């Protein structure tokens, strides 16, 4: 014969025990004359009486404290009502162990209730208030019952599945336990919930993770409320969802980021401390690897999916609308999903990110942080909260958090080109909430705060070459564009800061060359500089002009010859005249000597030239009413064939000049004197190796070796 909880029930609705939210107490509803008896007669129901049984187990939130009361409530075999008969004992040691002797019940179904103080896994302290945890069990084939959060959260659900949906007790219990675990991102079978122990096996790891997640950094009262709400949600639908769960996921993401040891993650490593606390309660023995279940929980709640070798460096967006990190982007690294690194400030604040091709930008203005200075617009703190802070030039240079930096002229120009270059359409694109998300936070123009709700102004790391001054990205009603302001020591300007992440870089600085290879130069006090590399016939060239600053007062990236010779980092050097000649001869159709050993190269045309839009042909400029951009002319041929990416001076957009390491007296005894050295002139009309006075300031390209 099968008992009433083993038999499919198709008769009336039997009310589920009420879950009292703040006390966590599960009470049986009283039976009434009108209530259906689910299992028929006692004989039909197959009720098995429990006689003179010793029931033991452990009760854990963390472990309940010695002296905590443990009660076994007798349940009616037909109605599952409490009969009023109970058997009491108490926790006997620091691991939460208990034993209840002489248990005699009218049926095999019992409710265990533990009521008392417990050890908090997150703080390591004894709780400041008491809680109640329950377990609904079948004692027919067991006399060991552990009471924990999984047994507690499953209790109401088991009752509903049996009483309202007609499931057998064993099927209902299995389903309820699976639903509880699934809500925490745990899909593997962990066995019966009454066998789970914080100190043992995979089930213990899962249980410890659930306990840490539900406790997190809240008081016992808030914890009690969370458990009650979750229990009611499970009882009703078998699912835990809502804003409360999203808060737990956000907390889990933050503590897991610290556990991973990210250099930009600040704060206490909560998971490491929780492990230490629990191991100390386990006589120093190690506890199961619960941290992975913390990770699985928030990844599951954010809808990020799997992260493996198959989708390494892929970007996914948090789709949980209740999360405070909704729409934040995460990248699949070897260690798993991580918020893109550019988005965490030194104070732990998380900045939303924006992906521009392979580059990762912060999509919020930098706030005042633990280490950065800054001023709020109109000196109002609320403006910092809305728009971020405004920074002086020297503050902006070092304000970005680890693994990110202030963008260069080239970075911002690339961003603008993504949307068409400049103008109102580009400004609209840069204001998009799911993109760069430029906010009109205004700036301090040297005299007053202006432009809030009208414009956004951002610092660039680059500054003027021949003219001393600074560059900004300005976005207003006219459009989006890069603007220049000449330096004036009597004028202090403050603008917003956006940071560009270094995630595209290989931290090992491997010298293998591919399309994304970048060299990181760490020498400058102003912050790391990054140089694209290109392999031309086995020679590794920097495809970016050298930007090493010798002095604090440096305000350009061109050098006299003596400084040019020592500008390249270790392992690199200023190329000789011969090395430049080899490169130019590879590109040119022919060459000829001109005077005193100088050389002119034919057919180079635009093959070494970077973006055609950066160049102006000064010969044709007047004839074309000031429209001198070479991209406007049909005769422009293929450019940048070798990825060498030559750009003109910002204020002489028809030529670029580079130093060689060759002294005129060494290369040509008929040269003018020791005051000259060889330089490379790359223009639209000609390419030459020529003599320049050593005090002339030219750009530097470095070559490997």
CA distances from 666 to 368, 566, 584, 663 (A): 55, 18, 21, 5
Q: What is the pTM of this model?
A: 0.54
pLDDT in tens, 442-460: 999 999 999 999 999 999 9
18 vs 242, which has greater pLDDT?
242
Q: Is the pLDDT of residue 504 over 50?
A: no
Say which range, 109-123, 449-463, 515-529, has the weakest mean pLDDT: 515-529
Q: Is the pLDDT of residue 701 over 60?
A: yes
Task: Please give the structure tokens belonging to residue 254.
Answer: 């933050």
pLDDT in tens, 23-81: 333 333 333 333 333 333 344 457 899 999 999 999 999 999 999 999 999 988 877 78
Q: Is the pLDDT of residue 274 over 80?
A: yes
What average pLDDT does the segment 544-551 reach? 77
Q: For residue 652, what pLDDT is reported?
A: 64
Q: At CA 463, angle to CA 457 and CA 468, rounded to 5? A: 110
Task: Please give the structure tokens belonging to residue 227.
Answer: 């458990």
Q: For residue 556, what pLDDT is reported?
A: 54
Q: For residue 424, what pLDDT is reported?
A: 87
Q: How far is CA 424 from the centre of its chain?
A: 31
Which residue, among 359, 204, 406, has the nearest Cα to 289 in the 3D structure? 204
Determine contact, residues 389/374, Cβ cutoff 8 Å.
yes
296 vs 24, which has greater pLDDT?
296
What average pLDDT does the segment 430-438 reach? 86
DSSP state of 631: G
Q: Is the pLDDT of residue 622 over 50?
A: no
What average pLDDT does the segment 522-535 reach? 73
Q: Is the pLDDT of residue 262 over 50?
A: no
Q: Is the pLDDT of residue 265 over 70?
A: no
705 vs 41, which has greater pLDDT?
705
Say which range, 22-36, 212-226, 664-678, has the weakest mean pLDDT: 22-36
pLDDT band at 344 (very low <50, low <70, confident <90, very high): low
Q: Of 429-438, 517-526, 637-646, where does the model show the most confidence? A: 429-438
Q: Is the pLDDT of residue 277 over 90?
A: yes
Q: Is the pLDDT of residue 628 over 60?
A: no
pLDDT band at 526 (very low <50, low <70, confident <90, very high): low
Q: For residue 210, what pLDDT is reported?
A: 95
Determine contact, residues 198/208, Cβ cutoff 8 Å.
yes
Q: Is the pLDDT of residue 232 over 80?
A: yes
Q: At CA 545, angle to CA 345 and CA 598, rounded to 5? A: 175
Q: Is the pLDDT of residue 209 over 50?
A: yes
Q: For residue 464, what pLDDT is reported?
A: 56
Q: Which CATH number fits domain 18-237: 3.90.1150.10, 2.60.40.1120, 3.40.250.10, 3.20.20.70?
A: 2.60.40.1120
Q: For residue 525, what pLDDT is reported?
A: 61
555 vs 359, which has greater pLDDT?
359
Q: For residue 618, what pLDDT is reported?
A: 52
Determine contact, residues 399/374, Cβ cutoff 8 Å.
yes
Of the chain, the percentage scoring pLDDT greater than 70 comes to: 80
Radius of gyration of the chain (CA): 36
Q: For residue 341, what pLDDT is reported?
A: 55
What average pLDDT does the segment 690-703 reach? 92
What average pLDDT does the segment 1-19 reach? 36
| DSSP letters for 306-372 | --SGGGTT-EEE---TTSTTTT-EEEEETTEEEE-GGGB-TTSPBPPEEEETTEEEESSPPPP-SS-
556 vs 679, which has greater pLDDT?
679
Determine contact, residues 526/547, Cβ cutoff 8 Å.
no
pLDDT band at 295 (very low <50, low <70, confident <90, very high): very high
How many C-beta atoms lie closer than 10 Å to residue 36's C-beta? 12
Q: Is the pLDDT of residue 263 over 50?
A: no
CA distances from 572 to 490, 537, 541, 645 (A): 39, 17, 9, 19
Q: For residue 46, what pLDDT is reported?
A: 75
Q: Provide the mean pLDDT of the chain.
A: 81
270 vs 233, which has greater pLDDT?
233
Count how many residues are written for the chain: 705
Of the chain, the percentage scoring pLDDT greater than 90 comes to: 44
503 vs 325, which has greater pLDDT?
325
Determine contact, residues 73/86, Cβ cutoff 8 Å.
yes
Owner of token pair 């080239």: 410
Q: For residue 691, what pLDDT is reported?
A: 92
How do beta strands 315-317 and 329-333 pair? antiparallel
Q: Is the pLDDT of residue 318 over 80?
A: yes
At 531 the three-state DSSP class reads strand
pLDDT band at 683 (very low <50, low <70, confident <90, very high): confident
Longest CA span, the chain: 121
Q: For residue 348, what pLDDT is reported?
A: 67
Sequence spans of domains, the chain: 18-237, 249-339, 359-501, 518-704
């Amino acid at each position: 014969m099968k008992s009433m909880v083993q038999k499919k029930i198709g008769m009336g609705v039997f009310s589920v025990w009420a879950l009292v939210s703040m006390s966590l107490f599960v009470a049986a509803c009283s039976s009434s004359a009108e209530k259906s008896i689910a299992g028929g007669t006692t004989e039909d129901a197959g009720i098995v009486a429990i006689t003179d049984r010793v029931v033991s187990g452990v009760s854990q939130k963390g472990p309940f404290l010695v002296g905590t009361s443990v009660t076994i409530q007798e349940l009616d075999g037909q109605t599952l009502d409490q009969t009023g008969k109970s058997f009491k004992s108490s926790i006997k040691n620091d691991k939460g162990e208990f034993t209840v002797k002489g248990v005699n019940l009218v049926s095999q179904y019992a409710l265990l209730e533990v009521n008392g103080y417990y050890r908090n896994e997150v703080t390591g302290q004894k709780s400041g208030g008491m809680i109640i945890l329950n377990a609904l069990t079948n004692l027919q084939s067991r006399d060991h019952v552990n009471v924990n959060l999984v047994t507690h959260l499953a209790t109401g659900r088991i009752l509903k599945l049996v009483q309202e949906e007609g499931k057998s007790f064993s099927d209902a219990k299995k389903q309820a336990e699976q639903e509880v675990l699934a809500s925490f991102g745990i899909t593997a079978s962990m066995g019966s919930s009454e066998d789970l122990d914080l100190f043992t096996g995979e089930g213990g790891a899962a249980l410890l993770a659930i306990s840490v997640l539900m406790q997190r950094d809240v008081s016992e009262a808030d914890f009690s409320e969370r458990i009650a709400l979750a229990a009611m949600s499970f009882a009703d639908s078998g699912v835990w969802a809502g804003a409360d769960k999203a808060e737990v996921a956000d907390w889990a993401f933050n503590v897991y980021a610290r556990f991973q040891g990210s250099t930009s993650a600040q704060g206490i490593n909560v998971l490491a401390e929780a492990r230490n606390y629990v191991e100390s309660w386990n006589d120093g023995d190690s506890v199961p690897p619960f941290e992975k279940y913390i990770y699985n929980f928030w990844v599951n709640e954010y809808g990020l999916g799997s992260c493996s070798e198959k989708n390494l460096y892929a970007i996914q967006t948090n789709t949980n609308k209740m999360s405070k990190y909704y729409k934040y982007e995460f990248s699949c690294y070897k260690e798993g999903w991580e918020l893109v690194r550019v988005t965490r400030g030194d104070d732990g604040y998380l900045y939303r990110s924006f992906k521009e091709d392979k580059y990762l930008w912060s999509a919020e203005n930098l706030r005042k942080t633990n280490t950065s200075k800054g001023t709020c617009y109109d000196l109002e703190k609320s403006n910092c909260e809305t728009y971020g802070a405004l920074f002086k030039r020297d503050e902006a240079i070092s304000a970005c958090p680890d693994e990110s930096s202030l963008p260069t002229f080239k970075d911002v120009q690339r961003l603008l080109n993504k949307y068409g270059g400049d103008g109102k359409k580009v400004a609209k694109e840069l204001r998009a909430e799911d993109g760069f998300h430029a906010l009109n936070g205004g700036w301090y123009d040297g005299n007053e705060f202006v432009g809030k709700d009208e414009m956004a102004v951002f610092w660039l790391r680059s500054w003027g070459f021949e003219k001393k001054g600074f560059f900004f990205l300005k976005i207003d009603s006219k459009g989006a564009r890069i603007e220049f302001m000449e330096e004036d020591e009597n004028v202090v300007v403050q603008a917003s800061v956006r940071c560009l992440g270094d995630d595209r870089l290989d931290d090992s600085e491997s010298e293998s060359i591919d399309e994304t290879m970048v060299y990181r130069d760490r020498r400058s006090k102003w912050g790391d500089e990054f140089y694209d590399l290109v392999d031309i016939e086995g020679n590794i060239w920097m495809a970016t002009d050298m930007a090493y600053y010798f002095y604090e007062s440096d305000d350009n990236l061109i050098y006299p010859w003596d400084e040019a010779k020592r500008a390249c980092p270790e392992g690199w050097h200023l190329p000789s005249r011969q090395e430049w000649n080899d490169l130019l001869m590879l590109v040119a159709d022919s060459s000829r000597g001109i005077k005193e050993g100088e050389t002119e190269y034919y057919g180079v045309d635009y093959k070494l030239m970077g973006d055609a839009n950066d160049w102006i042909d000064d010969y044709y400029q007047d004839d074309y009413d000031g429209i001198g951009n070479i991209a406007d002319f049909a005769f422009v041929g293929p450019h940048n064939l070798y990825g060498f990416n030559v750009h003109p001076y910002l204020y002489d957009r028809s030529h670029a000049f580079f130093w060689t390491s060759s002294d005129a007296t060494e290369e040509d005894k008929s040269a003018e004197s020791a005051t000259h050295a060889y330089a490379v002139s790359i223009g639209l009309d000609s390419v030459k190796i020529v003599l320049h006075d050593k005090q002339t300031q030219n750009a530097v390209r470095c070559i490997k070796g």
